[in-house]
């Protein structure tokens, strides 16, 4: 990126026009997008779902190793994931940025290209937002609006005794990808001539830098005629999310260590870092897989679903929330996901 255009040469409104002029609307529910004081949306008989994520440089991402295009993509996808976790469909986003002087127009174009790519893949419209100067690095706030059918929207509070606990994909890979990037960053700081070696670890990097929302799982469930009794996306770690569902549904749970899906690269990396593999899967976070519960009666259907694993069951609340180890011993689940407020 050799050319550098200072943001000041365009001004705030010129910058917004420059970044949004190529946006094409895709959804019937988007009546009016960028260019007015407010977007106009029409959802007719559908219920409206709204979620917001705030991402701050130095807290949620490190531009030492996160490319701006990947950051734009991930910023959008994590919001889409929240809508899918309610069994809905994301339709629109608004994007607000706090930008420091060190960023050029070309760098913001790079960020927006990732954002637009995610929107194109998932069929989402960018309908508004705001920009402001920032004294503390890059700040990103994205609000996603989606739709859902009233009788099919899924919350965290519907899990019932004997329900099956299911997860999509595999867990812990994003966390191990982050550990790998942080290690290379530390080495990079100490050496003048440094080329990071990520051979054989591409999957871990992709899970950290370019996660995907599990639209495919929502479509599989719908095709099978299954409406989960509760659901969440796994952003803070499996353990934390299970405890959220247990608390809000007033139930307990048992999950089994040998049933937690873990990719080979994740296991190999955990061994290299001398980390407990189950801890990475339970508490790592940023997997953006779906955690959901379904009635026992659909066991055969859900067991046959590609990319879905039954890892346990829901119990009565007085039985608590436990991980059953490979030896049969039980360990109480604790919310140990990363908390930026404690940093």
Distance in angstroms (rounded) separating the CA atoms of residues 98 and 136 = 9
Top pLDDT among 55 and 184 is at 55
Name the band, by pLDDT with cuts 50, 70 and 90, for residue 25. Answer: confident
Note the pLDDT of residue 191: 62
Question: Which of these, 140, 101, 148, lies nearest to 4 by C-alpha position?
Answer: 101
* Average pLDDT of the chain, as a whole number: 91
CA atoms within 13 A on the CB side of 320: 8
* Cβ pair 51, 142 in contact under 8 A: no
Name the band, by pLDDT with cuts 50, 70 and 90, for residue 332. Answer: very high
Q: Which residues pair with 290 in a beta bridge?
A: 233
Question: Which of the residue ranges 82-96, 246-260, 329-343 would you say has the lowest mean pLDDT?
Answer: 329-343
Question: Which of these, 228, 247, 263, 261, lies nearest to 334 by C-alpha position?
Answer: 247
Residue 54 has pLDDT above 80, yes or no: yes
Top pLDDT among 131 and 230 is at 230
In the chain the domains, ranked by start, together with CATH numbers, are 7-148 (3.30.1330.10), 164-342 (3.90.650.10)
Note the pLDDT of residue 11: 64
Residue 254 makes CB contacts below 8 A (sequence gap 6+) with: 312, 313, 315, 319, 322, 324, 330
In the chain, % of residues over pLDDT 90: 76
270-276, long-range: CB < 8 A, 24+ apart: 270/172, 270/176, 273/176, 273/179, 273/183, 275/176, 275/179
pTM of the model: 0.91
Residue 343 has pLDDT above 50, yes or no: no
Note the pLDDT of residue 193: 60
The H or E element containing residue 23 is none
Residue 8 makes CB contacts below 8 A (sequence gap 6+) with: none
Distance in angstroms (rounded) separating the CA atoms of residues 237 and 172 = 8
Name the band, by pLDDT with cuts 50, 70 and 90, for residue 341. Answer: very low
Q: What is the pLDDT of residues 268-292, one digit of tens each?
A: 999 999 999 999 999 999 999 999 9
Name the band, by pLDDT with cuts 50, 70 and 90, for residue 197. Answer: confident
Residue 279 makes CB contacts below 8 A (sequence gap 6+) with: 336
Residue 190 has pLDDT above 70, yes or no: no
Name the band, by pLDDT with cuts 50, 70 and 90, for residue 30. Answer: confident
Residue 63 makes CB contacts below 8 A (sequence gap 6+) with: 57, 71, 138
Residue 3 has pLDDT above 90, yes or no: no
Residue 1 makes CB contacts below 8 A (sequence gap 6+) with: 104, 106, 107, 110
Query: Is the C-alpha dihedral spanning 94, 100, 105, 106 positive or negative?
Result: negative
Residue 192 has pLDDT above 60, yes or no: no
Distance in angstroms (rounded) separating the CA atoms of residues 178 and 201 = 11
Note the pLDDT of residue 39: 83
Average pLDDT over residues 134-149: 95
* Cβ pair 230, 292 in contact under 8 A: yes
Residue 2 has pLDDT above 90, yes or no: no
């Amino acid at each position: 990126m050799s050319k550098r255009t200072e943001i000041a040469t365009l001004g705030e409104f010129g910058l917004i026009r420059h970044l949004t002029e190529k946006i094409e609307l895709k959804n019937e529910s988007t009546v009016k997008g960028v260019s007015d004081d407010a977007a106009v949306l029409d959802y007719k008989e559908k219920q409206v779902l709204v979620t917001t994520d705030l991402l701050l440089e130095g807290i949620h991402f490190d531009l030492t190793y996160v490319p701006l295009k990947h950051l734009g993509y991930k910023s959008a996808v994590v919001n889409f994931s929240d809508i899918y976790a309610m069994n809905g469909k994301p339709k629109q986003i608004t994007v607000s940025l706090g930008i420091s002087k060190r960023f050029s127009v070309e760098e913001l174009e790079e960020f927006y290209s990732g954002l637009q790519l995610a929107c194109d893949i998932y069929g989402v419209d960018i309908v508004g937002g705001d920009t402001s100067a920032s004294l503390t690095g890059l700040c990103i706030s994205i609000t996603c609006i989606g739709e859902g059918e009233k009788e099919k929207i899924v919350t965290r509070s519907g899990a019932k005794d004997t329900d099956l606990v299911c997860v999509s994909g595999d867990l812990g890979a994003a966390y191990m990808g982050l550990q790998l990037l942080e290690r290379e960053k530390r080495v990079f700081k100490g050496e003048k001539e440094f080329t990071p070696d990520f051979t054989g670890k591409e999957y871990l990097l992709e899970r950290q830098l370019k996660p995907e929302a599990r639209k495919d799982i929502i479509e599989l469930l719908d095709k099978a005629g299954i409406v989960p009794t509760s659901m969440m996306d796994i952003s803070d770690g499996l353990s934390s999310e299970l405890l959220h569902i247990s608390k809000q549904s007033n139930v307990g749970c048992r999950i089994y260590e040998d049933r937690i899906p873990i990719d080979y690269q994740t296991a190999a990396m955990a061994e290299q870092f001398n980390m407990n593999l189950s801890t990475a899967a339970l508490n790592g976070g940023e997997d953006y897989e779906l955690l959901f519960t379904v009635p026992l009666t659909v066991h055969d259907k859900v067991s046959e679903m590609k990319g879905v694993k039954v890892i346990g069951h829901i119990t009565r609340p007085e039985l608590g929330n436990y991980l059953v180890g490979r030896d049969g011993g039980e360990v109480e689940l604790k919310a140990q996901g990363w908390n930026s407020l404690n940093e």
